[in-house]
Structure 1
Amino acid sequence: MRKEHHALLKRISDVQTVDFIQDEIRKMEAGDRGENRLVRKLDELRLAGLVNIFPNVSLSIGEWKVQIDCLVVTDRCFIVLESKNYSGDLFVDLETEEFYKVTEDEKENSLPNPYFQLMKHIRFIKDYFRTGFPSMQVTGAVIMTAKSCRIRQKPKHYPFLKLESMNEKVIQMYNHSNSLPLSTEQLQTIELVIQTEQTPFTYPPLCEHYHIPPKVLMPGVECPFCGVLGMKRLERTWNCPSCKKNARNAHRQTVQEYFWLISKEISNKEFRHFCKIDSIYSASRMLKSLNLNVHKGGAWRYYSPKRN
C-alpha cells in the first residue's frame, strides 16, 4: 500500500493532509517491521509435531474477507497471531474493554481493541475449515512487537503477549490442544488450501478511504526521470518541461495512480482531465493501448484494470 500512499502524497498540497498521510505511511512501515520481527522469532519455534507458518494470510468466505498477520498450522491446532506495533503503556479498561495507550505527557489515546479482531479471525478459521477438519482447535494471541511496549492492564482472558514470550506461549497452546493429531497428508492438504485459495485483499481508492475530495488532487503526468508533474503531450510522446526528456508511455503510471487514488473506473473525459490533455481522439488511442477492460453502454464507455 505504500506506493499508493506515496502517489497520493505528490498530488496533494494541503499541509495537514500531507502530515496525516506521512503519519499513515510511518504506521504501515512500523507495522511491517513488527510483522517481520514476529516471523523471524517464529523461526526459533520448535514443536513436538509438524508445523508450518503462513504470514499475511488473505482468505474469504463469500463476502467475508480477512487478512491475518500470521497463521501457524500444526498437526494439533491452528494458531492465529495478530501483530501490533504499539509502543508505550497499554491499558484495557476492565469494565468497558476500551483499549488505549498513555503517552509520555500522560494523555490517553484510544485505539482499536485488537482482541476483537483476533476473535473474529479465530471464528473465521473455524468456519473456513469446519467441513474438512471440524475437530481442529483454533486459538491465538495478539503479539505486541514494539520493544518499548508495556502491557499495564488487561482482563485475564486477553491473550496479549510480548514478542519475547510468544514462542513459549505457542508451545503451551500446542501442548494443551486436545485435538487428534493430523497426518502428514492431512496437513499437506490444509497447506495446499491456504496456498491456492489466498485472495489478495482489495482496498478502496485512497480518496474514498480517507474521504479526500478527488478535485483537490493535482492532475498531470509525472516525468519518470525527474518526478515533476505536468508533462506535455507532443505528437505521440510526453515531454517534460523541466528536464526536457521524452517518455512515450508516461501516461501508463498516471492511469494506474488514478485507479489507486480516485476510482477503479476511468472514462475518456476523466483521463483527459487527469492527464491534462485536450484531444478526445488521442485519449481514446492511449486508453485502448493500455490493455484495460472496456465497458460499453450506448454512448458511454469506461475502462477498468484487469485482474492479475
Structure 2
Amino acid sequence: MHKKELVLLTQAESLERLLHRLPEHHPQRQFLQIELYRSAAGKRGEDRLARKLVEFSPEENYRFMQNVCLSLGEWKIQIDGLLLTERGAIIMESKNISGQLYFDNQTSEFSRTDLEGIRTVMEDPTTQLNKNIRFLTKFFKLHKINLPIKGIVVFTSKQCEFIAKPQNNTVCKTYQLIDYLFNILNSFPDLATHPHLSKIEKILQKHHSPYKRIPLCQLYTIAFSELRTGIYCATCKNHQMIRKNRCGWVCELCKSVDPLALETTVQEYFSLVHTHISNKQLRQFCNIDSSFVASRLLATFDFEAAGALRNRTYQLKNKN
C-alpha cells in the first residue's frame, strides 16, 4: 500500500487553523490575528520579490535561491533571497512594512509612521542584512568560495515611503529592484576566473538547515484543552467531518465532501499541538471513538514510528 507523505502547514496556514480552533473570546485571539496578518503579508512580499526577479536578465549566468537557511554551529541564519552571479553574490532581505520609513543615521534607529500618524521604532532591517553578509562571508571562506558579497533590503509594501535612507546600506522598493541589482553588479570587481555557480548552489543546498518549527500551541503556551477538536471542514470552517466509506469525509453541517480532510487535520496536529502523535492523541484531536479505526488511519501515513504497542508514537519523517 502506498503511504501518504505529510509536511507541516505553512506558518500562515497554521495560524489560520489555530484561530479556527480557539474560542471566539480567547485572550490571545487578537494577538494571533496580528501574527497571521504579518505572516501572510511577509509571504506576499517574498512572492512579489520573486516575481520581480523575472525581469532580471544579465548577460552572464546567475542563480536565484529563496529561503536559504544555513548554520555554523549555533549561529543560524535565514536569507529571503540570494542572487548568485559570476561577479558576486547579492543577499536580498524582503520587508513588507508600510507607512513612512525613516532611517536615522546618527542614532542608527529605524522607525515607521503609519497612516494614523503613530510613530513606532522598529528593528533596523539593515542590521539583519549586515549579520547575514558577515555569516555568508565566513561560510564562503570555509568552503573556499571566492565570491564577493553585498546586500540590499527590499521593501515590498506598495504603501511605503522613504523619508530618510541609511548611508551605509542599500534599500529600495520592489519596482526599483532590478536597477539597483545592476548597479550592485557593476560595483563588483572583475574576477580573474568565473566561479562555477552550479557547484556553489549545490554546496548551499547540501548545507541547507531549515529552522525546526515549534508547534504553535507550545510557542504561544496554549493548552490542548483550549482547542476545538474534530476534523476540519475547509468549506464551512467547522470541525464536524465524519467518515463515509465510499466518499471519504463528509461535513455533518454543510454536507461538503473532502477525501483529504483527515490528512489536513493530521497536518494541523503536527503544526499546532506536538511533534509526535499517538493513537490516543489522534482520537482525541479528531474525535474518533475506535482505537482500531485510529490504528488503521495512522497506518496510511508514511511516519517514523517509535515504541511498541500502546506506547507507540509517530512523527513526520525528516526530509533533510
Common topology (TM > 0.5)? yes
* Cα pair distance change 1:294/1:93, threshold 3 Å: same
Q: Which one of 9, 14, 18 corresponds to residue 4 of structure 1? A: 14
State whether residues 145 and 200 of structure 2, in contact with CA within 8 Å, keep that contact through their aligned partners in structure 1.
no
Residue 160 (structure 1) aligned with residue 137 (structure 2):
no
State whether residues 45 and 94 of structure 2, in contact with CA within 8 Å, keep that contact through their aligned partners in structure 1.
yes
Q: Deviations over 1:254-304 (max 9, x none)?
A: 222110111111123322221223433433343234332211179632211
Q: Deviations over 1:114-155 (max 9, x none)?
A: 112112221222222213445421110111122331222354
Alignment of 1:241-280 (within 5 A): 241-243=252-254, 250-280=261-291
Q: Which range is displaced more, 165-174 or 111-120?
A: 165-174
* Cα pair distance change 1:147/1:182, threshold 3 Å: farther
Shift of 1:249: 7.1
The number of aligned residues is: 307
Residue 149 (structure 1) aligned with residue 160 (structure 2):
yes
Secondary structure of the corresponding residue to residue 142 of structure 2: coil
State whether residues 37 and 145 of structure 1, in contact with CA within 8 Å, keep that contact through their aligned partners in structure 2.
yes
The one-letter code matched in structure 1 to 2:277 is I
Give the structure 2 partner of residue 228 of structure 1.
238
Give the structure 1 partner of residue 198 of structure 2.
188
In the alignment, structure 1 segments of 5+ residues that lack a partner are: none
Q: Which range is displaced more, 194-203 or 7-16?
A: 194-203
Structure 2 CA distance, aligned partners of 1:106 and 1:92?
A: 17
Give RMSD over aligned pairs: 3.2
* Cα pair distance change 1:92/1:248, threshold 3 Å: closer
Give the structure 1 partner of residue 132 of structure 2.
121
Give the structure 2 partner of residue 27 of structure 1.
38
Give the structure 2 partner of residue 295 of structure 1.
306
Secondary structure of the corresponding residue to residue 53 of structure 1: strand
Shift of 1:47: 4.3
Greater RCO, CA 8 A, separation 6+: 2
The one-letter code matched in structure 2 to 1:211 is T
The one-letter code matched in structure 2 to 1:252 is E
Give the structure 2 partner of residue 211 of structure 1.
221
Shift of 1:203: 2.0
* Cα pair distance change 1:287/1:117, threshold 3 Å: same
In the alignment, structure 2 segments of 5+ residues that lack a partner are: 1-9
Secondary structure of the corresponding residue to residue 168 of structure 2: coil
Q: Which range is displaced more, 83-92 or 297-306?
A: 297-306
Structure 2 CA distance, aligned partners of 1:227 and 1:33?
A: 23
Q: Deviations over 1:216-237 (max 9, x none)?
A: 1111122467553134568998
Q: Which range is displaced more, 152-161 or 118-127?
A: 152-161
* Cα pair distance change 1:73/1:274, threshold 3 Å: same
Give the structure 2 partner of residue 75 of structure 1.
86
Structure 2 CA distance, aligned partners of 1:5 and 1:86?
A: 20
Secondary structure of the corresponding residue to residue 77 of structure 2: strand
Structure 2 CA distance, aligned partners of 1:240 and 1:298?
A: 32
State whether residues 20 and 237 of structure 2, in contact with CA within 8 Å, keep that contact through their aligned partners in structure 1.
no
Shift of 1:28: 3.1
Structure 2 CA distance, aligned partners of 1:24 and 1:163?
A: 23
State the TM-score, normalized to the length of structure 2: 0.80
The one-letter code matched in structure 2 to 1:275 is C
The one-letter code matched in structure 1 to 2:23 is S
Structure 1 CA distance, aligned partners of 2:309 and 2:299?
A: 18
Aligned sequence identity (%): 35
Q: Which range is displaced more, 225-234 or 157-166?
A: 225-234
The one-letter code matched in structure 2 to 1:39 is A
Q: Which range is displaced more, 142-151 or 205-214?
A: 205-214
Shift of 1:108: 1.7
Residue 110 (structure 1) aligned with residue 121 (structure 2):
yes
Q: Deviations over 1:44-97 (max 9, x none)?
A: 335464333223333344554433111111112111011112111112344543
Shift of 1:176: 2.4
Q: Which range is displaced more, 28-37 or 192-201?
A: 192-201
Q: Which one of 37, 53, 60 corresponds to residue 42 of structure 1? A: 53
State the TM-score, normalized to the length of structure 1: 0.83
